[in-house]
Amino acid sequence: MTTRKSAEPHEPSQNLTDALEGLAKAEELLEEKRQAARKAVADELRASGLSHAKIAALTPWTEETVRNIAKEHGVTPKRKPTVRSIKD
């Protein structure tokens, strides 16, 4: 039976450390910008009165995603007007 030597701890290079820190910062910024874009979609829905489908066409997201964004931000769905008959 052979025994293995325990691996000595490896100290990462400054290049690797810097690259990973840069990646972490970029991911944080991406998430911040993604949340800002989602809030802007909700604000647009609220202000414009457009449907989820019409707003989705302006974004990289699907209508279902826009619907979920609306729910997250408390934007109530627009109701289609009903046609009423006028009686004399």
15 occurs within a structural domain = no
**Model pLDDT, residue 7:** 81
**Model pLDDT, residue 77:** 78
88 occurs within a structural domain = no
Sign, Cα dihedral of 36, 37, 40, 42: negative
Query: Which pLDDT tens digit goes with each residue over 17-61?
Result: 999 999 999 999 999 999 999 999 999 999 999 999 999 999 999
Which pair of structure tokens corresponds to residue 24?
Answer: 């972490």
87 occurs within a structural domain = no
1 occurs within a structural domain = no
84 occurs within a structural domain = no
Query: Which pTM value belongs to this model?
Result: 0.73
**What is the number of domains present in the chain?**
1
38 occurs within a structural domain = yes
Find the domain containing 68 and state its range.
Answer: 24-72
60 occurs within a structural domain = yes
Residue with tokens 């647009």: 44
Which pair of structure tokens corresponds to residue 65?
Answer: 């995603």
14 occurs within a structural domain = no
